[in-house]
Structure 1
Amino acid sequence: MVISRSREDARLLEGNLKFGDDTLAIKGSINILGMEVDSRISFDRHLETVVRRASLRLTLLRRVRHLLDADGFLRLYKAQVRSVMDYSPLTWMSSAQCHLSLLDKVQRRTERLIQLTDGQQWMGR
């Protein structure tokens, strides 16, 4: 990956970077310790991946919520969903508001599910 302010630099270096006899391919982004970093040091794609993973896990929790009380649901949420969202937040805190609002949507879905689960508990479930 070429990190530069100029978009031309990556194109100029394509095919010219070598390691021994091997020519290195230039990538637009790389994954380091579970964080996706692109050539502009923007974490928007990483944040989208985090939101997608958290949303999928929340969907799975929604499917089993009828088996849980509100406390059990909250514990599973913190272990399975929130842990994904809290991993390396300093990297994406400078992301655009449109990307950060995706995290807020996951949070609002969680709040609605907790309210529904809590309501089921009072209804005798």
Structure 2
Amino acid sequence: MDEELREVGEEKDLGVVIDRELKFSGHLAEKIKKANRIVGLIRRTFVTLDESIFKLLYVALVRPHLEYANQVWCPSKKKDISAVEGVQRRATKLLPNLKNLPYPERLRKLGIPTLAYRRSRGDMIETFKIVNGVYDDSVCGGLFVRSDRATRGHGKKLYKQRARLNIRKDAFCNRVVNRWNSFPDSVVNSTIDYSLRYRELESQAQ
């Protein structure tokens, strides 16, 4: 039986709301709203919070909503970056002894990095896995193009494709290239256990 397909402006796939213009504004709004709702629940449930309990609750219940699949929807506009970061900014004010401190100082005392830093760090970890064959090549094999230019640095440099539109320029396979190519050979060709590789990538991405 023939069935006419309905045209829609956005669709959710594996938990990510994808719109026709690939701006992910609907996804951002949904996740920010959900994360703020959980922050409000924590505020109403716990009369007093110390730093260790807050960090445990925030990392387990709030932050995952702001980071799930962020390689796909990573914001590039300042207003979107600020909106996502604003959840963590407000959440860290739940602690009475920290609420009057500047945001960077609150993060330092809690031992929590900015969400922007964590997205950048996550990009580098995923790039490392793809380039070094941790993932199945049949899934990620064609995502990057290796550079054939003989330049200084490591031998696993990637080719950055030209992009006319911001959608393409800010896509994962393009936005990670410059930072990945700037890493030293000791990082991209490390043969030590994965936990150490990730720590090296974290320090290089700062």
TM-score, length basis structure 1 = 0.70
| C-alpha distance in structure 1 between counterparts of 2:43 and 2:23, whole Å | 32
Measured on the aligned residues, the alpha-carbon RMSD in Å equals: 1.9
Query: CA offset at residue 117 of structure 1?
Result: 6.3
Equivalence for 2:13:
32
Structure 2 unpaired stretches of 5+: 100-206
Displacement after TM superposition at 1:105 (Å): 1.3
Whole-Å separation in 1 of the counterparts to 2:11 and 2:66: 20
In the alignment, the residues of structure 1 paired with residue 79 and residue 30 of structure 2 have an alpha-carbon distance, to the nearest angstrom, of: 14
String of CA shifts for 1:54-112, please: whole Å, max 9, x gaps. Answer: 11110111112325432112101111101111111122224422122111211111121
Within the candidate set 41, 51, 76, 2:22 is matched to: 41
- Provide runs of 4+ in structure 1 moved above 6 Å: none
Change (3 A) 1:95 1:47: farther
Distance in 1 separating the partners of 2:98 and 2:51: 5
Q: CA deviation at 1:47?
A: 0.8
Aligned length: 99
Residue number in structure 1 paired with 2:85: 104
Please list the CA deviations of residues 21-48 of structure 1 after superposition, one character each: whole Å capped at 9, or x if unmatched. Answer: 1111111110001100011122111111
Q: Which has the higher helix share?
A: 1
Letter of the structure 2 residue corresponding to residue 70 of structure 1: E
Q: Which residue in 2 is equivalent to 1:17?
A: none
**Partner residue, 2:38:** 57
Percent identity between matched residues is 30
The structure-2 alpha-carbon separation of the partners of 1:86 and 1:35, relative to structure 1 and needing over 3 Å to count, comes to same
Secondary structure of 2:11 counterpart = strand
Q: Is the 8 A contact 1:57 1:80 kept in 2?
A: yes
- Structure 1 100/61 Cα, relative in aligned 2: closer, same or farther at 3 Å? same
Distance between the aligned counterparts of 1:98 and 1:71, measured in 2? Answer: 30
Q: Could you tell me the TM-score, scaled by structure 2's length?
A: 0.44
1:91 alignment partner in structure 2? 72
Query: Is the Cα contact below 8 Å between 2:92 and 2:98 reproduced in 1?
Result: no
Q: Post-superposition shift, 1:52?
A: 0.6
